[in-house]
Amino acid sequence: MGLLTGLRDSISRAAATLFSEQDPKRIGIYGPPNAGKTTLANRIARDWTEHGDAVGPESHVPHETRRARRKENVEIERDGGTVSIDIVDTPGVTTKVDYTEFLEHDMEKEDAVRRSREATEGVAEAMHWLREDVDGVVYVLDSTTDPFTQVNTMLIGIIESQDLPVLILANKIDKEDSSVQRIRNAFPQHETIPLSALEGDNMDEVYDKIAEYFG
């Protein structure tokens, strides 16, 4: 009996240890096209993963990201502890993708049509992730543009209805026409953190807040 009891206790301890270790939380990086979501994802990956591989390509052309990309087991060290997350770089969400906007970037019509179709599929995928597969949201906004849009209002509303923790980032503060206060005024119910994902400005505060919100 002693052997069986010891074996049972060992199995119980092993099971308790196994199930006490939580999987990394899946944090979706959301926002409109060209807000700097992939730039932020790449910055986080460079700062906190062993090889610093990019999550995806960056471009000034809208909808460069047309499929969600995931970087797993990102370990952010803050205040003597480590926060483990998976980051999901999602396609920019918009109410309409028009192939003509790509023609302005010297694309052939066939390529523009294909890109618009892929971008539309990407929006659907991003919404699926939001409703089914993320534990929290980093919402990236371009601080040089007006945040009062149908897309931003809709997405923030969906995030709130899902009871997901959300951290709003006012990106591109390195630009002269940046206005962080405009974003704070648009969504006063949420904390807004300024940053430049491109230049790395204020990333320490961003990482502090990621650890606070999602740790």
Contacts for 176 with CB less than 8 Å, ≥ 6 apart: none
Q: 83 - beta bridge partners?
A: 76
pLDDT tier for residue 41 given thresholds of 50, 70 and 90: very high
Q: 100 or 13: which carries more pLDDT confidence? A: 100
Share of the chain above pLDDT 70, in %: 89
Domain 26-55+64-214, CATH among 3.40.50.300, 3.20.20.70, 1.10.260.40, 1.10.645.10: 3.40.50.300
User: Residue 2 above 80 pLDDT?
Assistant: no
pLDDT tier for residue 62 given thresholds of 50, 70 and 90: low
Q: What pTM does this model have?
A: 0.84
Report the b/e string of 128-152 with b at 16+ CB within 10 A.
ebbeeebebbbbbbbbbbebeeebb
Which of 172, 140, 145 is closest to 155 using CA atoms? 140
What is the pLDDT averaged over residues 111-116? 86
What is the pLDDT averaged over residues 188-198? 97
* Interatomic CA distance for residues 68 and 55, integer angstroms: 10
Angle at 158 (CA atoms; ends 42, 134), nearest 5 degrees: 45
Q: Would you kindly state where each structural domain of the chain is located, as residue ranges?
A: 26-55+64-214
pLDDT of residue 19: 40
pLDDT of residue 97: 83
pLDDT tens column, 171-184:
999 999 999 999 99
What is the pLDDT averaged over residues 27-52? 94
State the average pLDDT for the chain. 88
pLDDT of residue 18: 41
User: Residue 203 above 80 pLDDT?
Assistant: yes
pLDDT tens column, 119-142:
889 888 888 888 888 999 999 999
